[in-house]
Amino acid sequence: MEAGVATTARGQQYKTIVYVICMVAALGGLLFGLDQGFIANSLETLTAHYGFDVKAGENYSAILATGGIFGALLSGIFARFLGRKRSIVLAGLIFTAASALSALLPDLPLLSAYRFALGFGVGMASFIVPLYLSETAPAPIRGAMGTLFQLMITIGIFLIAVSNVYIAHAFPNPATSLSLMFLTVTFFAALMFAGSFILPESPRWLMLKGRKDKAIAVLGRTLSEKSEIDAEVHEIEETLHGPQGAGLSIVFRGYFFKVLLVGILLQMFQQLVGINMMIYYSPTIFGYAGMTGFVAMLTVPTVNMLFTFPAITLVEKWGRKKLLYVGAVVMLVTMVSAGLAFQAIGDVSDPSQIGGAPKMVLLISVIVYIFGFAVSWGPVVWLVCSEIFPLEGREVGMTITTMVNWTFAGLVMANALSFMKLFGNASIFYVFGAFCVLAVVFVAMFVPETKGVTLEELEMNLKRGVRLRDLGKVS
């Protein structure tokens, strides 16, 4: 009886420690979300203070993606030489400093430079946090813990959206409200920065650096039995027998290049299904349909956050691949519906003349679209990309795929509103719908199911020449 109680206690301790570590690490996703949500409900205030037109607003928004590309590019170097933990700390420091300096409301060139720095910090976080979570969480709950990154992104989007709406209403002066908006970002970023100091280092990185004793100590905090620790250490050592620190040359190895293409296309499709148009510009898009107020400003961030919670359990219950299928089909249907709603609205110059039916179809389409993304392509793409690369090239693979994500995010941010203005409001929804179709075909042919499989088993299958979509099948 006493032994059973002891075992239960150890199991509870294991779960608590793992969840605390993963929750704190996932706060890096808060950095991502804070700035994604910032633009949507501050663009009007930015326009009032800095005199933006449509293109200037798009350009300022897209600077974040440029910084994200460079942050992701250098994150592989930081992750390799500084370690995963210190890289998360550095990302938090950069983001906190850049947002605090932005609150001073400098001239536009300097404000743009600070936004680039914000993007650099967020680019680092978008690379490091999924990598850290995949290497630290035990395999049975790795999927659920990995989705915490996306959950924190959605929480960040929601928090900053609500606070910006409140600030804009409470402080009508654009200079005052804009400064307070940046200070709110600074506050949340500082919380993440402070919390990152309590994280342990990734055991896989410690093993990679020959610090086996420290790696065992970390595993002792996350695994409940000595046999589990020994097995984990053995599997990591097995994968370390190959060449380490291969750098960019690993891209030219056949097994790595194949899985790299999977990661690249996953990140590309994550952006080309249209999510950043919705996150950044949903109040503007609703405005085109004559919808204003809290519905226009808070629908997307609220739904996005609430519907990410189911992904934490579904990613382990249903698996990664099924969620990608479901999400792509849901987004396809809703993008077409939104396009039809805008076609029904037509070129009405007076928004007050727009009928209620198209507005309702558009609103429902957007809500269901966000549901489809939040439970699937949002969390699952980051999770799969953190799982599929072999240890010796994980930093390279994550660097390249994260840069791809930011590149296509920038394309969407910099062109979405201009595209709608040039080709009609309905046009862009049909374009994104077509990419949803292509995404389904791609997932069916090439994406593996990684649910419940250790990173080392995935790596061994990859190097044995198992075809891509079967990498998660354990022989």
CA distance to 35, 47, 293, per residue, from 174 (Å)? 19, 9, 18
By mean pLDDT, which of 60-64, 135-139, 365-369 is the weakest?
135-139
* Six-digit token string for 199: 């994280």
C-alpha–C-alpha distance, residues 205 and 183, integer Å = 35
- Comparing 124 with 16, the larger pLDDT belongs to 124
Q: Which pLDDT does position 435 carry in this prediction?
A: 97
- Comparing 452 with 175, the larger pLDDT belongs to 175
Q: Which pLDDT does position 265 carry in this prediction?
A: 96
CA atoms lying within 13 Å on the CB side of residue 451: 16
pTM of the model as a whole:
0.75
Q: Does residue 4 register a pLDDT over 70? A: no
Largest CA distance in the chain: 76
Q: Which pLDDT does position 239 carry in this prediction?
A: 66
**Residue 151 — pLDDT band, cuts 50, 70, 90?**
confident
Q: Does residue 141 register a pLDDT over 80? A: no
Could you give the percent of the chain with pLDDT greater than 90? 28
Could you give the percent of the chain with pLDDT greater than 70? 92
Q: Which pLDDT does position 220 carry in this prediction?
A: 81
**Residue 2 — pLDDT band, cuts 50, 70, 90?**
very low
**Residue 7 — pLDDT band, cuts 50, 70, 90?**
very low
* Six-digit token string for 293: 């107020």
**Residue 191 — pLDDT band, cuts 50, 70, 90?**
confident
Which residue type occupies 260? L
Which residue type occupies 169? H
Q: Does residue 240 register a pLDDT over 70? A: no
Q: Which pLDDT does position 108 carry in this prediction?
A: 92
Decide: 156 and 32 in contact? Cβ < 8 Å: yes
Q: Does residue 204 register a pLDDT over 80? A: yes
Q: Does residue 445 register a pLDDT over 90? A: yes
Q: Does residue 43 register a pLDDT over 90? A: no
Q: State the chain's mean pLDDT as an integer.
A: 84
Q: Does residue 118 register a pLDDT over 70? A: yes
Q: Does residue 322 register a pLDDT over 70? A: yes
C-alpha–C-alpha distance, residues 277 and 47, integer Å = 18
Which of 314, 294, 347, 334 has the alpha carbon at shortest distance from 40? 294
Which of 34, 84, 56, 50 has the alpha carbon at shortest distance from 394? 84
Local structure of 333: helix, strand or coil: helix
Which of 109, 18, 114, 15 has the alpha carbon at shortest distance from 64? 114
- Comparing 148 with 423, the larger pLDDT belongs to 423
Which of 25, 65, 274 has the alpha carbon at shortest distance from 151? 25
C-alpha–C-alpha distance, residues 148 and 165, integer Å = 25
pLDDT in tens, 47-84: 999 988 888 888 888 898 899 889 888 887 888 888 88
pLDDT in tens, 85-100: 899 899 989 989 999 9
**Residue 5 — pLDDT band, cuts 50, 70, 90?**
very low
Q: Which pLDDT does position 184 carry in this prediction?
A: 92
Q: Does residue 335 register a pLDDT over 90? A: yes
CA angle at 356 for the pair 355 and 362, rounded to the nearest 5°: 105
Which residues fall within 8 angstroms of residue 367, CB to CB, at 6 or more apart?
299, 303
**Residue 186 — pLDDT band, cuts 50, 70, 90?**
very high
Q: Which pLDDT does position 13 carry in this prediction?
A: 46
Local structure of 328: helix, strand or coil: helix
Query: Quick one: 164 exposed, middle or buried, by C-beta within 10 A (0-12, 13-18, 19+)?
Result: buried
**What is the DSSP secondary-structure string of 259-274?**
HHHHHHHHHHHHHHTT
**What is the DSSP secondary-structure string of 438-472?**
HHHHHHHHHPPP-TT--HHHHHHHHHTT--GGGTT
**Residue 229 — pLDDT band, cuts 50, 70, 90?**
confident
Which of 440, 435, 57, 64 has the alpha carbon at shortest distance from 274? 435
